Chain A
Amino acid sequence: MQILKNKTNIDFIGKRKPAIFISTLVNLAILVGIATVGFNYGVDFAGGTVVELKFDHSISAAEVRERAQKGGLHDVSVQNIGGASENAFLLRMGGVTQLNEENAAKAKTAIEALGTVRNVYSDLANGIINFRSATPLTAELIKSAVEGSGTGVQEVRVLGESQGGTGVDYQVVASGMADKVNSALKAGLEKPDFEQRRVDYVGPQVGKQLRNRGVMALLYSMVAILIYVAFRFDFKFGPGALLAMLHDVIMVAGYYLVSRREFNLTAIAALLTIVGYSVNDTIVIYDRIREDMAKYKGKPLAEVINIAINDTLGRTILTSGTTALSLIGLLIFGVGEIFDFAMAMLVGILVGTYSSVYIASPLTIWLDERAAAKEGRHGDGMKQEPKAA
């Protein structure tokens, strides 16, 4: 059996200009989209709380939302996951703690009413209110005051007397959203008809850290791979490999952008894997180009590259095909982020194959031609054919 019965002789290099033009356009559109519309960041990066619930009876997402709102949870998104018969839902809330700007202002007023209080400042990121009171207060008093203003309190900590004797420092820790979900949905029921199967709870500062770390990881791996490619091949192969890599990463990011699927840590893992994988196809072709450059000495580089691409076309399709095949199971049985991961990988494999042929190789020619032109200008004025190797 053979996927390509006859040797192909497609003029890939001749079509490089429209291909690069279209790819650049799509890439720019995605980058603009990321800058203006932005990803649908998951809790990993945006911070917030996700609770996965499974009900023991049939219920719709709308009913769950209604129940949550009745219980006092307003800004909550409810999403059905898995099969409809599973009655499993993801509840997403923006905040990590019950402290938001509005609540914090109310809590501040409530605390200030307790006595001579100063230095009240709330740290929304951590769900903390710090303040100093001139006279000692009891934790119960503070707790009831803050809870009265609409913020659930997990703990009131006495930080101790200030050294100058100007008062006692207190810290109020607001309680988490997962608590609130449970109590809101349980309201009016004798015993809960659902099971809390998963809670993801990420503070906004941690989210920012995770996001920065993800971006840094992407940059590092691209640089490291680029150095390896430049070292193993020739420096003129470097830019082509890099741009192909960037192209693939941006395209996969585009999948997350357009599909509005959650962009989270798993998405970063997918992007990084694509960085490692996309260069594979490129290497197969580069290896062949290098081999053919020695074989067809004297032929223009463009022609050699076209031969190399055509010769390796069958295996380029096959390697991508087998990897794509292995993902099918994940696409069928994967839920949530694993499905997204498999889908993103599939997109990455397809665009990776395309970019190896249409982006990485043509760029090598372009660089070579430029180098030759420069040589021609600065050299002894003789017209030179682009030389291979």
Chain B
Amino acid sequence: MGNLITVLDPVGFAPKVTRKTLAPRLPTLEDQTVYLVDCRFDDSDVFFKQMQAWFAEHLPGVRTVLKPISSVYLNDDPATWEEIKARGHAAIVGVGH
């Protein structure tokens, strides 16, 4: 074996990760309002219209609201989240690419 060399590690310092609490799941979607949150990226609105049609055909007891975010996906959107919290029961967010 050749000479051993000591070198420094080039990687930065990661923040400590602490688990966040996820929301309790719903027992059923029947009679619930599900927000379809369009992130306004690469035709995700077209995709969610199709998902909304799927709910209407297969689960008509589920109310769906197609909701585009207020700006671009890079920005937080507390107004939209507050609306969903107040008026909805669940959310489907997309389409992330």
Q: Do A and B come from one complex?
A: no
